Structure 1
Amino acid sequence: MNRRLFLAALPAALAAGCGFQLRRLDGIPFTSLYIDAPSGSVVAQRIRNVLASNKNTRLAATAGEAEAVLKLGQEDRTKTILSLSGAGRVTEYRLSLRLAYSVSSRDGRVLAEPETIELIRDMTYDDSLLLAKGAEEQLLYRDMDDGAAKRIVRRLQALKPGNNS
């Protein structure tokens, strides 16, 4: 019995001893940030939600009162047929999200060069499971929105306010 307990506790002890920690938001190096995004941008809303919990950064109402400006481009979502069955029915779709962003200071100096994020997910499809596959598609798009928002926030964390990064 003691051997089982030891083997069960060993991975936890090793993970704790190596300094492993879950990824968390340590804050971004700006006291205020303005998010310039198209209306209805889901990724922009996800970024706002993440930064709202950060006590060190205030979301500014206008670009003039912000230390940095995050400019998001249009979110392009596509759904293309990936494969067909022998009978000509769709069996797989490829979903993608493409989004460009850049970060600049209030005076227009570029803090982060424009970058494009492209996320792709493949999903199987079956006509007999229409509602389930529709829900799966929405879940995959939501996952891509979250992934894009997290990548942008991590990029913001890595910036140095005085330099280009």
Structure 2
Amino acid sequence: MTLDLKPMLRGEVKRIAVDYRLTPDEMYGVRFCEDLHACGEVTDNAGYMRLSLSISVPYVAECARCLDEVSGEFREVFERTVVTKGAIDEDKLEESVDEYAVLDEDGKLDVDDEILETLVLLFPKKILCREDCEGLCQRCGKPKKDGDCGCPTKEIDPRLAVLKKLLDNPEK
């Protein structure tokens, strides 16, 4: 969505409402079940403009440890100071990309870019079904939450196997 902020730049309005849906692409193996909902506003606060948005999107992903399907909803509230191109030094703009939203020459702001950038930066990279998820057995691949699989818990380094035999048979 592109917002035309020319009326705000001319001082005709002090607030522009934002309420729309956006279809995000799959990322990090996460499927988004529905469109992302963005709701908020751009306000003129005595000479500077502020973009304030609340975003939410339901998702389905695999648990990073046990590979079970996990459903959830990502929610985030963020704000950006809206600046015109050239009003701020390019180096400073690159350093604090999450603080500023830049208007193009026509006085338009691409809100999609801001939303997708926030989604990519703040979406969890590791999703778990439970905080205490134990994952899978390293030997057989059975989920540990289903109970003991019977695999030995200790694995002896093959280089020390001879010493293990000595400890098992001390009489020899």
TM-score by length of 1: 0.36
TM-score by length of 2: 0.35
Q: Counting helix residues as a fraction of each chain, which structure ranks higher? A: 1
User: Higher relative contact order by CA 8 Å / sep ≥ 6: 1 or 2?
Assistant: 1
